Structure 1
């Protein structure tokens, strides 16, 4: 019987790559996100290229009612979710605390922390009842350290780190694995969103070195979920060779 994986934030970047990788490996996938057109495009791509089944759900993880309604209304054949990938997240702005934009802070806190909690709260009771499941939280190098002008984003990813540890303790009696995968610099929409559509500033982030791709992180997620049931890959940090910390890189002039 095929396992079912639900991936949040599947409309772009890491979430999209993870959904494609799991579908390729034979998982049936539930893809979620806020952009209906992109969900439909990904749904068609999976249906054309893989034998896996796919179900698209359009909702905002920041809204608990939407999360609860979407998950509770799943058809019976989709209701037993084996793997939850809490991927939805973003960085907005690069400001000092004293110059911070409150709306940016709220978007990051609501998505990166509360959204992860909402989805986990709705899906985890089913895993507990079945005494089986795997929760994968996408963290960040920003959850392992802090860098200037990124305090709030770093704080949200430190929260993901703490929540992953706490979930592991709470889920321990129920045979549920919890994995945190923490990427360094990955060339996705991440920096474009952070700089609010400024492509030039986003490109500068990835100039002068070979950055990670979304597929590199999808590889790490698949490695974790494909282990035997008695093995829990608890914490994975994946960095470009040219990156040492959240803001320390070796870049070569061209």
Structure 2
């Protein structure tokens, strides 16, 4: 197949990045400068840069420029760490327990950047249904981004019943203690179970900006429910999170038993 000018420009820029001509974190020349150097149009340069961004080689930052990404490996979700059990009906049939193993690399949560301080609000209809509480019941809402090696891997919105977190936040607090750690240290509640549901879709404009990806690059959306057991071994639904992953920076591994007539 004949290469297009976009292919040629993308290969040249990718080679420069791989050979270190453009170092991690370095701002690339402007579209105009690259167009003049390579004797092509700015739309061609822009298309090549979008391809490089979709391959996680550069970040296109609006009103700032194009920067070489710091090299990162994919985060693996699904290998040999804590076991999660997903059970429940699919259609009109009840499935057997599906074992999902989750293993994040040691640096997978190198930094959490909160978009805003945690807020106390009424659950509302949607979140109330997710947490099995009334819409008027108060919840704590946390929103932020998980960043690894200066690359945003995922954005999240987490919700916790306020009744479980009395004393967690005080007016004027600057440090944000993770709610799960606070529940463990102050209520003796330890995680016992999680259920996750994955969906593939296109990002919103806000998500694309936070993850530094193109609107045309798919993301993975995960609904996650977390239960914890208190000191009396009672299991309580303590968290619902909606997490949006940069799909190209994650891989998911699932293990589950097969019955003899499966496949």
Q: Same fold (TM over 0.5)?
A: no
Q: Normalising by structure 1, what TM-score?
A: 0.27
Q: Normalising by structure 2, what TM-score?
A: 0.26
The structure in which a higher percent of residues are helix is 1
